[in-house]
Chains A and B, each alone.
Chain A
């Protein structure tokens, strides 16, 4: 006769698993609800900190009235407008492009006329340490002497990066910038191309947005 004790009864086993999954779902749901607000705050803080770093002083909340744009190449771009006393002082656009280790996302700030001001790559990318990160990172390198002497890096100053800084003052032309126009790090072609592409997507989207704004003003 088939053994139908509790431990081998398939209905009991299924029921037991169901109970375990149910309890687990409750625990996960409770954590998800409890952390929803802190996660939103933490993400908003990261964006706000990045915007403060790359834009001139502003008194509005750029995240509150961010606009979703599409670049001429069909890439999504998020546009933040910085205003001071009601006057536009600059724009920042968020875009991403494929690098060596997946997506590289960046924030590009623009002067009010649409020229590129500063480029920063958001943290969390997976570019090769020591090679790809030469293109993407703006980390302030503290040295052991600084630590011993208690010198702290100035958080208001953005550390330099030759590759990212080569975009400052550029405006998008008919074609993407070539290796000669902007700084490509040798050995890090994928990362350099990704940064070039994301700045291109952001700047062309901003160029078109500014053109459409000017047109609508004229029409009025």
Chain B
């Protein structure tokens, strides 16, 4: 696949939230407003890009049996670095609003998932494109969800009052509202895909590689990862 395709697949075709449905905890918790979603998305992008790069470099050195602990250590390092940098240079309000979810990027399935499924078997540039694309795709979804939730719950976008909605739909500001909205978006995406397939005279089935049973982490104890390309 070309580098450009590796980069763009994170936005729609293999979007970490909408298609792979990974990283639900930060998605629901930090998309209650657009600014928080943007900050969380960018912090995750930094970690994804950094960890993908390093893991891609050391992939041939790491023994298969201890690859997951090694990847986790690399990811945790980047998370600590981004946390310290945000504490020092980001506005205090944004840093404090993300709170516990910032260190929790370390256990975000999107990050470990990309390390295991992509960076551990691909070269430096492809891994960088994948990490950046996935991160920006994650950011894109978080900002979109944040905009809708912020508008419905507070009538504002990025903290600016839109002066046309003042109903205070408080449920949307909380995690259950996020779940409901995300469910509606996922249903809409499936509907779109089914419609496309029907037009082409086919029956829509989700790609097999996105199925949980095909996740290589589940095969950890039984076999080694696929050989390096």
Contact = CB atoms under 8 A, between A and B. Distances in A.
Contacts of A42: 87-89, 92
A38 interface: yes
B93 A28 contact: no
Interface string B44-81: 00000000000000000011111001100110110011
Interface size class for chain A? 35 or more
Contact of B84 (A32, A43, A124): A32
A43 B92 contact: yes
Contacts of A38: 88-89
A123 B64 contact: no
Given A17-B70, A35-B84, A39-B87, A129 B154 contact: yes
B69 A17 contact: yes
Interface stretch (A91-99, A138-146, A155-163): A138-146
Nearest to B173: A129
A21 interface: yes
Interface in A120-178: 123-124, 126, 128-131, 139, 141-147
Contact of B32 (A28, A129, A143): A129
Nearest to B162: A144
A35 B82 CA distance: 11
A144 B85 contact: no
B142 to A, nearest CB: 16
Nearest to B32: A129
B160 interface: yes
B97 interface: yes
Contact of B62 (A16, A32, A142, A144): A16
Main DSSP-derived SS at the A contact region:
helix
B87 A8 contact: no
A143 B160 contact: yes
Given A35-B87, A124-B93, A124-B96, A21 B156 contact: no
A39 B88 contact: yes
A216 interface: no
Contacts of B160: 141-144, 146-147
A125 B216 CA distance: 39
A123 B96 contact: yes
Given A129-B33, A144-B160, A20 B97 contact: no
Nearest to B36: A129
Contacts of B150: 129
B92 A7 contact: no
A104 B92 CA distance: 16
Contacts of A147: 160
Contacts of B76: 24
B163 interface: yes
A123 B85 contact: no
A31 interface: yes
Interface in A167-201: none
Nearest to A14: B66
Contacts of A12: 63
Given A20-B70, A123-B97, A128 B162 contact: no
Interface of A: 6-8, 12-13, 16-17, 20-21, 24, 27-28, 31-32, 35, 38-39, 42-43, 46, 123-124, 126, 128-131, 139, 141-147
Q: Give the 6 A-B residue pairs with the shortest CB-CB distance, closest first.
A: A124-B96, A38-B88, A129-B173, A123-B93, A24-B77, A35-B88
Given A31-B80, A144-B163, 6 more contacts: A13-B65, A13-B66, A28-B81, A39-B84, A43-B92, A143-B162
29 contacts: A7-B65, A16-B63, A17-B66, A17-B69, A17-B70, A20-B70, A24-B73, A27-B81, A28-B77, A28-B80, A28-B81, A31-B80, A31-B81, A31-B85, A38-B89, A42-B87, A42-B92, A43-B92, A126-B99, A129-B32, A129-B153, A129-B170, A129-B173, A130-B153, A130-B168, A130-B173, A139-B159, A141-B156, A144-B160
